[in-house]
């Protein structure tokens, strides 16, 4: 999992104003509390003139085996540079990042004016990979409208003073596959107050005025929760802002459209995968059931999948809408003309997701999280955060309707079973006499509810920690902190 240093630092600092550590210190802390840091990736570095430009004109050069374009780029104050480029994913009017002669890009690549394809090329239009922002070589980096003006410092706009941490999250710590989870870990490690980004203080509940969509769920599928919230009247031409696109890019996810981008963003932020359906393409009642023998579904990548009777599906009256926890289906895909979106946040059975994604060879960021378990208590908070973001970015109105299926009978407490432990057990195992109250305080910091009964603690783990099952697990948490 990839996460930028700046995002982690920002979330921790909400509860600890002024808190700051260097990337090197943060790496050592993550290692100390048991997280494997595979790589620390500084962005850039770039040296010399790297600027934002606006494409003013494109001339398609012919007679070559591949597409070649001669581009006139405004680099500020209507100063134009001709730059030869082989990418085709941009158009006149787009904002791009230009490395001018004399600039040095990551890897020591120095830009100079040169003759190419019979024309003078006075710089280079950069891809994200060439700036060390990600691995995407498929085209140049196009900034969204309003991200900057021509002539703005490229390094500043891109935030190239940042660092990306590449972490290997163990299967038992799925809660750490998010900014929320890792920021809580860091707050515990530094003994700081933590403000949960999924709490009501950060995500105030939206109104509820009836169900959002008719729904039937077969409980035997293992689904624990299934929530739906519509956003009506979004602008299909809207584009996600640069701050959001940048964070997705640094986490290894390509921005596509606001409805999809916000689901990915909130997944990274809170750890809860979600899916966006085109509300107008849903036919009748939504249902959650096992696939039937011989059933197929066309997934978002356009491939028809042969399903197994152990696969869990979301279906409507006409077709499959998604393979649960793995990938959406083409029938309700959000498209370029979509104006009404139905956002979905569900809690799928980890074993079922793992089995299906492996059989279909469909690994995804969502499936990786569902395999490790997702916090069921925040489904509606994540849904509401996503809906607000989408309305802010693409316009439209968040519907006051909500469907929230919580099992049969409905579940009102998502916490794992309580654990009883002697208050001095961590001291005896560590061979250290901790100050009075340390064990209870540290367990409360990870989100547990702790009560005293003489020399015994009763500890109710938080909803995002199903891995805490016995006293030894609690001792490990105290000693890690």
pLDDT for res 134: 84
**Which architecture, in CATH terms, is 2-43+162-189?**
2-Layer Sandwich (3.30)
| CATH classification for the domain delimited by 215-405, as one of 3.50.40.10, 3.30.365.10, 3.40.640.10, 3.40.630.30 | 3.50.40.10
> Tokens 């981008």 correspond to what residue?
261
pLDDT for res 37: 97
The pTM of the full predicted model, rounded to 2 decimals, is 0.95
pLDDT for res 266: 98
CATH of domain 50-158: 2.40.50.140
Low-confidence residues of the chain, pLDDT below 50? none
Q: How far is CA 216 from CA 316, 331, 366, 370, in A?
A: 10, 19, 23, 21
Domain with CATH 3.50.40.10 in the chain: 215-405
Domain with CATH 3.30.56.10 in the chain: 2-43+162-189, 419-480
pLDDT for res 135: 78
Q: What is the pLDDT of residues 50-83, one digit of tens each?
A: 999 999 999 999 999 999 999 999 999 889 999 9
Question: Given its phi and psi angles, is residue 309 left (phi above 0), alpha (psi -120 to 50 degrees) or beta?
Answer: alpha
Is the domain 419-480 a CATH 3.30.56.10 member?
yes
Q: What is the pLDDT of residues 358-382, one digit of tens each?
A: 999 999 999 999 999 999 999 999 9
Are the C-beta atoms of 179 and 197 separated by less than 8 Å?
yes
């Amino acid at each position: 999992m990839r996460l930028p240093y700046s995002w982690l630092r920002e979330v921790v600092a909400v509860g600890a104003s002024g808190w700051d550590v260097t990337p090197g210190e943060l790496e050592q802390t993550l290692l100390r509390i048991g997280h494997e840091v595979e790589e620390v990736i500084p962005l850039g570095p770039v040296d010399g003139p790297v600027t934002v430009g606006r494409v003013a004109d494109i001339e398609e050069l012919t007679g070559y085996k591949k597409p070649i374009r001669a581009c006139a780029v405004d680099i500020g104050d209507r100063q134009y540079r001709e730059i030869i480029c082989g990418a085709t994913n941009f158009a006149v009017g787009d904002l791009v990042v230009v490395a001018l002669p004399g600039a040095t890009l990551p890897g020591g690549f120095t830009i100079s004016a040169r003759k190419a394809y019979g024309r003078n090329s006075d710089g280079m239009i950069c891809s994200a990979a060439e700036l060390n922002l990600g691995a995407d070589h498929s085209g140049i980096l196009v900034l969204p409208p309003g991200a900057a003006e021509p002539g703005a410092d490229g390094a500043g706009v891109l935030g190239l003073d940042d660092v990306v941490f590449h972490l290997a999250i163990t299967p038992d710590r799925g809660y750490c596959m998010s900014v929320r989870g890792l920021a809580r870990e860091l707050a515990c490690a530094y003994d700081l107050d933590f403000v949960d980004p999924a709490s009501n203080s950060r995500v105030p509940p939206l109104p509820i005025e009836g169900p959002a969509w008719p729904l039937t769920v077969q409980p035997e599928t293992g689904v624990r929760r299934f929530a739906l919230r519509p956003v009506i009247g979004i602008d299909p031409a809207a584009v996600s802002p640069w701050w959001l696109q940048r964070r997705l890019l640094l986490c290894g996810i390509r921005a596509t459209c606001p409805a999809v981008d916000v689901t990915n963003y909130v997944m990274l932020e809170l750890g809860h995968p979600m899916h966006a359906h085109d509300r107008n393409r849903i036919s009748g009642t939504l249902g959650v059931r096992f696939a039937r023998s011989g059933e197929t579904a066309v997934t978002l990548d356009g491939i028809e999948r042969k399903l197994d009777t152990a696969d869990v599906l979301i279906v409507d009256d006409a077709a499959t809408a998604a393979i649960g926890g793995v990938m959406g289906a083409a029938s309700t895909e959000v498209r370029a003309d979509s104006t009404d979106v139905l956002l979905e946040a569900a809690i799928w059975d980890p074993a079922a997701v793992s089995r299906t994604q492996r059989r279909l060879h469909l690994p995804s960021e969502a499936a990786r999280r569902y395999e490790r378990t997702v916090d069921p208590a925040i489904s509606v908070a994540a849904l509401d955060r996503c809906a607000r973001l989408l309305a802010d970015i693409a316009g439209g109105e968040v519907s006051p309707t909500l469907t929230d299926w919580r099992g049969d009978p409905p579940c009102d407490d998502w916490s794992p079973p309580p654990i009883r432990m002697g208050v001095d057990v961590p001291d005896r195992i560590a061979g250290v006499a901790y100050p009075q109250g340390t064990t209870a305080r540290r367990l409360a910091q990870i989100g547990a509810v702790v009560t005293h009964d003489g020399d015994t603690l009763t500890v109710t783990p938080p909803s995002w920690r199903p891995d805490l099952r016995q006293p030894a697990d609690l001792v490990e948490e105290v000693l890690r902190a």
